[in-house]
Amino acid sequence: MLRRFILGAALFLSGEVLAKPPAGGVFCTTYPSASVCTGQQPSCTYCHVAPPQRNAFGAGLESHLAPGAPRPLSDNDFAYALPTALRAAEAADADGDGVPNLVEIQRGTLPADANSFPEDTGGCAAGTNPQYDVCRYDARFAYRRVLLDFCGQSPTYARLAEFAALNADEQRARLDAELDRCTQSEFWRGKNGQLWKLAHPKIRPVGSLKEGEDEGAIPLADYYDDYALYAYSQLDDHDAREVMTAKYFVRRESNPTRYSMTSKPNSMLYVQDEKYRAGNLTSSWSLIYFVMFTAIPRNAASQAYRAYLGYDIAKQEGLYSIPNEPRDYDAKGVTEPACAACHATLDPLSYPFRNYQGLSLTDQLSSANYIPNRLETYFSDVAPTITQTPEAGYIFGQPVNNLVEWARVGANSDAFAIATVTDYWKLLIGHAPTPEEHAEFVTTWQRFKGTHQYRVQRMLHDLIRTEAYGAP
212-241, pLDDT tens digit by residue? 999 999 999 999 999 999 999 999 999 999
**256 preceded by cis ω (within 30°)?**
yes
Residue 383: predicted pLDDT: 97
Mean pLDDT, the chain, rounded, equals 89
251-261, pLDDT tens digit by residue? 999 999 999 99
- Residues 386, 426 within the same domain: no
Give the number of other Cβ atoms within 10 Å of residue 140's Cβ.
Answer: 19
20-75, pLDDT tens digit by residue? 556 777 888 888 878 777 766 777 778 877 666 788 888 888 888 888 888 777 77
Split into its structural domains, the chain has a count of: 4
- How far apart CA 130 and CA 283 sit, in angstroms, is 52
The stretch 183-199 carries a mean pLDDT of 97
Residue 23: predicted pLDDT: 75
443-466, pLDDT tens digit by residue? 999 999 999 999 999 999 999 999
> Does some domain include residue 459?
yes
> Does some domain include residue 131?
no
> Does some domain include residue 301?
yes
- Residues 395, 281 within the same domain: yes
- Cβ burial 302-341 (10 Å sphere, 16+ → b, else e): bbbbbbbbbbbbebbbbbbbbeebbbbbbebebeeeebbb
Question: Which DSSP category does 186 fall into?
Answer: H
- Where helices occur in 213-310 by DSSP H, the ranges are 224-234, 242-245, 284-285, 298-309
Give, in order, the Cα–Cα distances in Å from 430 to each of 145, 189, 267, 422, 425. 12, 19, 35, 11, 7
- CA angle, corner 424, sides to 437 and 299, nearest 5? 110
Residue 352: predicted pLDDT: 98
The stretch 191-210 carries a mean pLDDT of 97
313-355, pLDDT tens digit by residue? 998 899 999 999 999 999 999 999 889 989 999 999 999 999 9
Cβ(199)–Cβ(229) under 8 Å?
Answer: no
Nearest to 357 by CA among 218, 199, 204, 221: 221
- Residues 158, 289 within the same domain: no
Q: Which one of 411, 433, 458 terminates a domain?
A: 411
Contacts of 270 (CB under 8 A, 6+ apart): 249, 264, 283, 284, 368, 369
Say whether pLDDT at 10 is over 50. Answer: no
> Does some domain include residue 96?
yes
- Residues 249, 212 within the same domain: yes
Report the chain's terminal Cα–Cα distance, integer Å. Answer: 20
- Residues 332, 373 within the same domain: yes
- Residues 315, 462 within the same domain: no
Q: Which one of 90, 107, 124 terminates a domain?
A: 107
> Does some domain include residue 291?
yes
> Does some domain include residue 91?
yes
- How far apart CA 62 and CA 13 sit, in angstroms, is 7
- Residues 168, 270 within the same domain: no
Q: For helices 194-203 and 414-429, give the axis angle rounded to 10 degrees.
A: 130
- Residues 302, 432 within the same domain: no
- Residues 218, 311 within the same domain: yes
Report the sign of the C-alpha dihedral through residues 205, 208, 214, 219, in that order. Answer: negative
Say whether pLDDT at 142 is over 60. Answer: yes
> Does some domain include residue 1?
no
> Does some domain include residue 115?
no
Beta bridge partners of 280: 278
- Residues 390, 426 within the same domain: no
Residue 2: predicted pLDDT: 35
Q: Which one of 370, 390, 411 terminates a domain?
A: 411
Query: What are the DSSP E strand ranges found in 197-283?
Result: 249-253, 258-262
pTM listed for this prediction: 0.86
- Residues 426, 321 within the same domain: no
Residue 125: predicted pLDDT: 55
Percent of the chain whose predicted confidence (pLDDT) is above 90: 67
The parent domain of residue 145 ranges over 139-182
- Cβ burial 97-132 (10 Å sphere, 16+ → b, else e): bebbbbbbbbbbbbbbbeebbeeeeeeeeeeeeeeb
- Residues 216, 101 within the same domain: no
